[in-house]
Structure 1
Amino acid sequence: MWTYTGIALYDFYHLPPLLVIIFYSLGYPILLISYILAGHLTDSIGTKNTIVVSLFLTSIVLFLGFFLTNGICGIIILSIQAFLNSLYVTSSSTATGTLSSPSVKDLLLSFSRFRAGINLGWVVGPIIGSLLYYYIGWNFILLLGSLGNLISIPIAYKLNNTKNGNNGVNRKYFIRPSKYLMEIILVQFIFAFVSSQVLFGFTVYSTNILKISSLLIGYFISLSSLLGAVFQEPIGRYMTKLNLKYMYILGSFVFSMSYLSIFYLGNIVGLTMFIIFISLGEIILNPIILSISYIVSYKYHSKGIGMAMGSTRMAEGLGRAFSTSITAYLFSIHDYEISFTLLSLVGIIGLIANRVIYTSLEN
């Protein structure tokens, strides 16, 4: 669905540019509010119940979207879906952590499998979506999404329903983040900020400068998801036997420096190296960061793990949203090479220079 949302706003809903800008601008307050609510619900009604609620309500909203084809209705439907998705992201991440023992290496394997499933969805989903969009239309993508969420509910019911919060009357809807959680929030923001360039900076640079076909760019993005789906779990299992501190440094370096391969080679070989290296960096870094996020939440916010995990996932969402704006600005004032150099420097300095990751991995 997300792959074709931008196209649908213009071609299916026939929205003028101003309303498209308004739609994407709504993403910021939606992220802030939804992740706060997601953390609260995860702690109060439990991980399983929050997942079921998000799946059920998303199914209803997407089903309504099949019939409501007006442009304004489209904005409302897609905004609500984005809101509900935050509930699912927070509760599923927290549930993944609770299914494992609270040690970095055990969590690393759990979150590696978690990410492998997500990447597999990103391999299959856009292919199915492209066929549906081309042959029968956008609203049938919404209908299939509605049915998919509905079918997933019985699977979610097999989970344990873990509650973390105090169910008293004087419930706290916010948490006071520890200094360790604040550092993790910053790390998540930087990580998402840099990784999001696969969907924007990479696409713009490849089509505008290297003159690569947009169809070929789609294959490169699918390749990134395929690499994650195939190698995330076995690499994650192998990493549990290694020194994770050094793996984190290696992942940070590979992840950030992958941007330099694009314009140093300036051809399809550079694009291929970029996709391979940034995928490898994500395979190494993503489960480590998620594992440390859960460890910090568990250790310092035991009565509000959902709220703490929601805060880190909110930082990830804001990083992805903010990256598009900043990169567009960099592209407007610098040439593309300088912009990617700046992104590489931000990534490697920001990811390596944080104390909480090293402390957690050493302990």
Structure 2
Amino acid sequence: MTTRMNLENKIALIGGFRSFGGSIIWPFIGFALYNVYEFPLSFISIFYLIQAIVTILASISGGIITDYLGRKKTIVISTISSSMVLLLAYLINAPLVVSSVVLIQTFFNTLYNVSSTTIVGDVYKGKTELVKAFSRQRVGINAGWAIGPLVGGFIFTDYGFRTLLLAASVLVLLPLPLIKFLPDFKGEGRLTFNLSRDFLIFLIPTFLTFTIIGQVGFGLLTYYNSVLHFTEFQVGLLFGVNGLIIVALQDLTGRLINKRIGLISVGMIIYGIGYFIVSLVTNYYIAILQMVIITAAEMIVSPLSQTIANSLAHQKSRGKQMGLYSMVTGMGRIAGSSLVSELMIYYLYAPQILWGMISSLGLISSIMYYFFLKKERGLIASL
């Protein structure tokens, strides 16, 4: 028990360092392409669509690599490679080069996400253990997210996006000394997938879920900056609020929800409400309230989604299946940024329409989860 608890903490710590290095830059990339490098919103939409294609390729190949090389080696490769490409973007700093390098880094980020999610599923079994383990992992990840956007917003505002690229290339290396303490697992090196029908059906509402989750980044930053004139640092503070709440309350939330898988539907309704409130924000205090609401949804939805996905996966091909899950979640996040950038062309200054469309995804996803869990009641009860 002690060993497993220590492993939870190590995974959380690695996730925290990794997310700190990533989160100082990722919420600002789409905005930087739009505001610093002066690409039009139509280009931003295309950029996110290309990023979706990269995510598909990275998730599929990442699952195979994770099973073939092992979880630990994959994490090391993705970490070092991410640092190198960010440094390259800093050194060249040409608009098309920066946007291209960001797409390359998406590949290595996806490798990390696949391997880190897979290793939790290797060690922990059953819905209670999985929800607790993923909740602890999210505490670490969001500790990084609580600090990263604050640091990133400060650097962006005072020193510019290029300096942010350099800082990210250094900070992303922070978890390397800790990775050696992780256990290593391998799956089958073959290209076969042992996918159940239940797993594939579950991925449909999952895509919609992460489409709305993906608004924490380009969507909120661009809207708040362009319409309400919040600075990058102020929006970074909002993202920091998100991270701090999760650090403080995710473990407790995990204990409360670990036997209530059906709460994922309730969480998606809360998401829908939270994003519609964006259209009603008139000052910074209401923006903080809006962030609190979507953070509550995130603390419910994310660990339950990871738990269901891992419980439906087969041990020998877990890396590949988590690669597919990562592909769908990554595509959802990117589709969310692409969708909102396209909608902003027409509805940036019609917030009820803009955020009404985004919030409807929460309701649709909630309904789909409800019927999936109702139909698969016996399966879910055994998780």
TM-score using structure 1 length:
0.84
One-letter amino acid matched to 1:362: A
Q: CA–CA distance in 2 between the matches of 1:263 and 1:177?
A: 40
Conservation of the 8 A alpha-carbon contact between 2:84 and 2:169: yes
Q: Could you say if the C-alpha distance between residues 349 and 71 of structure 1 is closer, same or farther in structure 2, counting changes exceeding 3 Å?
A: closer
Q: Which residue of 1 aligns with 2:20?
A: none
CA distance in 1 between counterparts of 2:298 and 2:143 reads: 15
Between the aligned partners of 1:225 and 1:58, the Cα distance in structure 2 is 22
CA deviations over 1:267-309 (Å, ceiling 9, x no partner): 65643332111110110111001011111113xxx32111111
Aligned counterpart, 1:91? 115
Task: Give matches, 1:1-363, under 5 Å.
Answer: 1-6=25-30, 8-9=32-33, 14=37, 17=40, 23-100=47-124, 102-165=125-188, 167=189, 171-172=190-191, 175=193, 177-203=195-221, 206=224, 211=228, 213-214=230-231, 216-240=234-258, 243-263=259-279, 270-298=286-314, 302-330=315-343, 332=346, 335-354=350-369, 355-357=371-373, 359=377, 360-363=379-382
Residues 148 and 270 (structure 1 numbering): CA distance in 2 closer, same or farther, change over 3 Å? closer
More deviation in 84-93 or 176-185? Answer: 176-185
* Letter in structure 2 aligned against 1:314: M
Cα separation, 2, equivalents of 1:268 and 1:135: 21
The SS at the match of 2:193 is coil
CA contact (8 A) 1:104 1:361 kept: no
| Aligned residue identity for 1:47 | R
Question: Is the 8 Å Cα contact of residues 198 and 312 (structure 2) preserved in structure 1?
Answer: yes
Label 1:79 to 1:196 Cα distance change in 2 as closer, same or farther (>3 A): closer
- Per-residue CA distance 1:6-62 (angstroms, 9 max, x = gap): 4544677x4654876664443122111111111110111111111111112222223
SS of residue in 1 equivalent to 2:307:
helix
Correspondence for 2:15: none
AA paired with 1:323?
G
Name the aligned partner's letter for residue 280 of structure 1.
A
Residues in 2 aligned to 1:19 and 1:257: alpha-carbon distance in whole angstroms: 30
User: What's the counterpart of residue 5 of structure 2?
Assistant: none
Give the TM-score normalised by structure 2.
0.80
Task: Give the Cα separation in 1 of the matches to 2:325 and 2:289.
Answer: 30
Query: In the TM superposition, what whole-angstrom CA distance separates every residue of 1:311-354 from its partner, at most 9, and x where no partner exists?
Result: 11111111112123333455526943244344434312322433
Tell whether the 8 Å contact from 2:206 to 2:305 is kept in structure 1 after alignment: yes
Paired with 1:117 and 1:36, the residues of 2 have a C-alpha distance of 26
Q: Tell me the secondary structure at the aligned position of residue 173 of structure 2.
A: helix
Query: Which of 1 and 2 has greater Rg?
Result: 1
Q: CA deviation at 1:202?
A: 4.0
Q: CA RMSD in A?
A: 3.0
Q: 1:305 to 1:337 in 2, by over 3 A?
A: same
Taking the aligned partners of 2:133 and 2:75, their CA distance within structure 1 comes to 18
Q: CA deviation at 1:72?
A: 3.7
- Note the residue ranges of structure 1 that are not aligned, 5 or more in a row: none
Distance 1:51 1:356, change over 3 A: farther
**Structure 1 residue 177, shift from structure 2 partner:** 3.3
1:119-170 Cα deviation digits (max 9, x unpaired): 11112112222344455554443333333333422211211111111x4xxx
Matched position secondary structure for 2:175: helix
- What are the Cα deviations for residues 63-99 of structure 1, in whole angstroms up to 9, with x where unaligned? 3334233334323322211111110011111112223
How many residue pairs get aligned? The number is 350
Q: 1:29 to 1:238 in 2, by over 3 A?
A: same
The percent identity for this pair of structures is 26
Q: Judging changes above 3 Å, is the alpha-carbon distance between structure 1 residues 175 and 85 closer, same or farther for their aligned structure 2 residues?
A: same
| Separation in 2, partners of 1:339, 1:16 | 21
